[in-house]
Amino acid sequence: MTDTNLQILRSRLQQGQDLVVLTGAGISAESGVPTFRGQDGLWRHYRAMDLATPQAFGRDPRLVWEFYQWRRQLLAPLQPNPAHQALAALEARLPRFTLITQNIDGLHALAGSRRIIELHGNIWHLRCTGCGQVREDRRLDLPPLPTCQACGALLRPHVVWFGEMLDPAVLAAAYAAVETCDFMLIIGTSGLVQPAASLGRLAKQRGAFVAEINLEPTPQSDFYDLSLQGKAGDLVPQLLSASG
């Protein structure tokens, strides 16, 4: 059944003029990125969800930064997988393409994607708690409490923590892309995390063809036009022939 659905997906992609892709943790897991759920969510005796909060940073920024430095060191040697690379190739071939990701690992950019909306931020970007300046910094030897070069205030990871709202401008850009697309591909998401989980439904309501690639069905699968089960690294590269 997967082969038949893949042919349908290829055919629809050939017809599409405006593609939006939404990616979640599943695509990065194939590169070795931990999901930080279950046992992967433990660091020392802390749960990741207890450290990735504004409250934790306010109480003990040194501890939170130590946790994020550990995460950066885990991510540093990892490379984009065939699914990341295929999406970058699709972007290069299609006139209208937007990649929306829930991932903070920066692997899409490493693969060559450029039209990226990072809903939850980027772990390789630092944001000043004083002036708000954001800059990329891939050093693995940051000071225990890094400070802003512009104003001297404490820096924090430029990621959306539990209990924080998404950047309104970033979210607005994602909604704008979804509302005008005619084809949406959702890859490696649980279909549970809002507001990302609602983007596929919005695209469908606006008339787009919506397809999902995931290891298993999600709570959103029945609302989409097509749901393929399998590894993104296997299935996404097979779509390349549809764009040429």
β 209-214/226-229 pair status? parallel
Report the amino acid identity of residue 95: P
- DSSP 3-state assignment of 231? coil
Q: First and final CA of the chain: distance in angstroms?
A: 24
| Residue 108 is among the residues annotated as catalytic for this protein | no
CA distance 244 to 168: 35
The residue from 45, 84, 108, 120 that is catalytic is 120
Long-range CB pairs of 111-115 (<8 Å, 24+ gap) are 111/80, 111/84, 111/85, 111/87, 112/85, 112/88, 113/84, 113/87, 113/88, 115/91
Bridge partner list, 209: 183
Residues ≥6 apart with Cβ < 8 Å to 152: 130
**Token output for 175:** 């909604």
- DSSP 3-state assignment of 20? strand
Spatial CA neighbour of 156 closest among 113, 121, 109, 201: 121
What amino acid positions are annotated as catalytic residues?
120
